[in-house]
Amino acid sequence: MLPGFAGKPGTALQAGCLGAVAPILGHLWEKPVYWNPEIETLSAEQLRQLQLERLRATLARALASPFYRERLAASDLRPGDLTSLEEVRRLPFTTKEDLRARGPDFLTVPRDLLVRLHASSGTTGQATVVYYTRTDIEAWAELVARSMYMTGVRPGDVFQNMMGYGLFTGGLGFHYGGERLGCLTIPAGAGNSRRQVQLMVQFQTTVLHIIPSYALYLLNVFAEMGVDPRELPVRIAFIGAEPHSEDMRRRIETAYGLKAYNSYGLSEMNGPGVAFECPEQNGMHVWEDAYLLEVVDPQTLETLPPGVVGELVFTNLTREGMPLIRYRTRDLASYEDAPCPCGRAMRRISRIQGRTDDMIIIKGVNIFPLQIEKVLMSLPEVHTNYLVELSRHNYNDIMTVKVEVKESFFKEDLRYLTNLRKRITEALKSELLITPVVELVEPNTLPVSEGKALRILDRRHEA
Ligand code: DLL
């Protein structure tokens, strides 16, 4: 049976096995589009029906945990009473604070059924811990494999996973997904830049998983080593785990000569593989058979319609050991439910616009780091890195933006650089509505992180 029509694609025929008969089979050997056709070709209506059934089952399962037994006791809603998905709004939200305070109380199974734990990277404070049963790990690997397959990764691809292996979900999540799909998976891990380039050359890597800011940084190492990434066979990259702009994606695509797909997830919802771009690169499909999506106004908590930016809220629909109900992600995005040309009915979310909690307020103006990035990355003179420092002087907030300028422009005369500084200041001012102090620095002089980039240094409390 040909993949895509039944069974799992990775287990059936591959181009390599067909060898000389491939041209004869020609028309039959169309690459299957879907990893899991049964789920990926559901109509919107069928998908909602499946979600409703799974939501009831999840609620019933959640009641086995001390946390939800208590929390849901106050609500008069019983799992069997749910007649529509909208009724989920009658249930209380779950927050990161709940997870921190009551961690193990979220478990619905005895401890000896748990096989793994991960912890969030803690970019916004103390880490939260999530637990997985064997079934959870397998279901998660399936979702990541499905996501990778959707972009065109196939068995036989050489997949270099440049994410941190460990408590962070990015490394092991994609590792299991890559193996599940049938890729030759290289557990390269984060950092060790020269080695990353060597691995790519030696094993002729075709697919990358990489933090977007690191992808730009790595270009310097390629240059130092005299290797042109465009001459390597790499054709697909997954970039995610941190906010990045469309300009940043295009830069990565051009410099490496590949297609870069945005990938979204969070440890509280297993990790990566919650929402992923299809070849249209126009929003990330939420795997709605596994996650129930809501977008709410972060202040009023009212449900928002398509196209309006609000906070993403997810409910697990297939998780066994630690299902979360109406988890407030703090991530801001909008959703789109118009049909996608790829044929999947799963709704798409926009690029993450920021978090409700990384918003910085300077002189009363609300600013999201992504706005700064968008401006800087649209300027051809700007190199790969920048740093925003917030300080306070005489009760006055000052925003200093240190910007790396490409070597070729740095060699220009002083008048040119003064003018460039003025242009960057103006561009930031018109986007942010406040005037930052811009400092131009030489390329590769700002600190680089091997994990998620640290772009904002808030020193205002030190004043
Ligand atoms: O970052 C999971 C992941 C790993 C996603 C690898 C994609 C690739 P956490 O460490 O728990 O999990 O951090 C989750 O990172 O709430 C977002 O604020 C941010 N984030 C994740 N993906 C994106 C993205 C992983 N594509 C937090 N764009 C989330 C913007 C993202 N922000």
Give tens-digit pLDDT for 29-40: 555 799 999 999
- Cα separation, 46 vs 21, whole angstroms: 39
Q: How far is CA 47 from CA 84, 139, 438, in A?
A: 13, 18, 50
**Distance from the alpha carbon of residue 152 to the mean position of ligand 1, in angstroms:** 22
Spatial CB neighbours of 27, under 8 Å, sequence gap ≥ 6: none
- Helix (H, G, I), strand (E, B), or coil: what is residue 438? strand
Q: What is the pLDDT of residues 118-137, one digit of tens each?
A: 987 544 445 689 999 999 99
Judge whether 358 and 369 are in contact, CB under 8 Å: yes
Residue 151 is classified by DSSP as T
Closest to 108 in 3D by CA, of 139, 64, 67, 68: 64
- Cα separation, 275 vs 70, whole angstroms: 31
pLDDT at 359: 66
According to DSSP H, which parts of 332-404 are helical? 369-377
**Distance from the alpha carbon of residue 51 to the mean position of ligand 1, in angstroms:** 24
Q: Which ligand 1 atom is the nearest neighbour of the CA of 238?
A: 8
pLDDT at 11: 37
Tokens coding 305? 């319609």
Judge whether 280 and 342 are in contact, CB under 8 Å: yes
Q: What is the pLDDT of residues 19-32, one digit of tens each?
A: 344 444 444 455 57
Pairing of strands 129-133, 310-316: unpaired
pLDDT at 207: 98
Adjacency order of strands within the sheet including 437-441: 437-441, 396-405, 382-393, 456-458
Pairing of strands 310-316, 396-405: unpaired
Q: In this structure, which residue's CA is closest to atom 13 in ligand 1?
A: 266
According to DSSP H, which parts of 226-339 are helical? 246-256
157 lines ligand 1 (CB under 6 A): no
- Cα separation, 306 vs 276, whole angstroms: 18
**Distance from the alpha carbon of residue 319 to the mean position of ligand 1, in angstroms:** 19
Q: What is the pLDDT of residues 372-381, one digit of tens each?
A: 998 999 999 9
266 lines ligand 1 (CB under 6 A): yes
- Cα separation, 170 vs 193, whole angstroms: 18
Q: In this structure, which residue's CA is closest to atom 18 in ligand 1?
A: 331
Confidence of residue 17 (pLDDT cuts 50, 70, 90): very low
- Cα separation, 451 vs 176, whole angstroms: 20
Tokens coding 186? 């290289």
Q: Which ligand 1 atom is the nearest neighbour of the CA of 121?
A: 10
Can you tell me the mean pLDDT for 192-197?
Answer: 96
